[in-house]
């Protein structure tokens, strides 16, 4: 029973799309390529890194990363090359700089504004005067409307 459970867990793990013909013969370079690939987004699949995607563009990016590593580029140079070619959207974790500072601040800002609006609404509601009760004439008129 334990063997079956272990087998199921292995099968359910992440499916890596790296094909055997893409793997570099040097294990150190291959390990670096895998680490870099975890940082790069598949532009077709959106929220998958290029190692997990079966898209043709992801394969091209994997080959490009390995090609740059074999050429002697550092990890940072490889990432910079891919970003220069495909834009910052290719990064799974975008950089925190001036051009996207607004996007980084938008979520927390909206949360603060929503909290302030909710707090103000509840405070005004609590401080509002209660509606006066119906007088006898209004109660009779309401009863008449509901029965007809």
For the chain, give every domain's residue range.
10-90, 98-147
Residue 34: closest CA among 5, 75, 95:
75
pLDDT digits 0-9 by tens, 18-54? 777 777 788 898 899 999 999 999 888 878 888 888 8
pLDDT of 135 strictly over 60: yes
Q: pLDDT value at position 15?
A: 46
Distance CA 53, CA 88 (A): 19
Local confidence band at 144 (pLDDT 50, 70, 90 cut-offs): very high
pLDDT at 11: 52
Q: Other CB atoms closer than 10 Å to residue 40's CB: what's the count? A: 24
pLDDT at 4: 66
Please give the Cα distance from 84 to 109 (Å, whole number).
Answer: 30
Q: pLDDT band at residue 96, thresholds of 50, 70 and 90?
A: confident
Mean pLDDT of all residues belonging to the chain: 84
Please return the burial class of 82, using the count of CB atoms within 10 Å of its CB with bins 0-12, 13-18 and 19+.
buried
Residue 13 has pLDDT above 60, yes or no: no
Is pLDDT above 80 for 3? Answer: no
CA angle 113, 118, 116 (to 5 degrees): 35
Q: Angle at which helices 56-70 and 27-39 pack, to 10 degrees?
A: 130
pLDDT at 16: 59
The CATH number of domain 10-90, selected from 3.40.109.10, 1.10.8.640, 3.40.50.300, 3.40.50.360: 1.10.8.640
């Amino acid at each position: 029973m334990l063997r079956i459970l272990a087998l199921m867990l292995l099968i359910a793990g992440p499916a890596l799309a790296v094909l055997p013909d893409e793997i570099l013969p040097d294990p150190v370079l291959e390990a670096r390529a895998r680490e870099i690939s975890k940082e790069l987004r598949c532009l077709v699949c959106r929220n998958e890194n290029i190692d997990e995607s079966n898209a043709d563009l992801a394969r091209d990016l994997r080959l490009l990363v390995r090609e740059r590593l074999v050429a002697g580029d550092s990890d940072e140079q490889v990432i910079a090359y891919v970003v220069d070619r495909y834009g910052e959207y290719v990064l799974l974790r975008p950089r925190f700089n001036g051009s996207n500072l607004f996007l980084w601040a938008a979520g927390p800002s909206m949360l603060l504004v929503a909290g302030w609006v909710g707090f103000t609404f509840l405070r005004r509601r609590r401080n509002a005067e209660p509606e006066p009760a119906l007088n006898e004439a209004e109660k009779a008129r309401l009863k008449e409307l509901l029965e007809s």
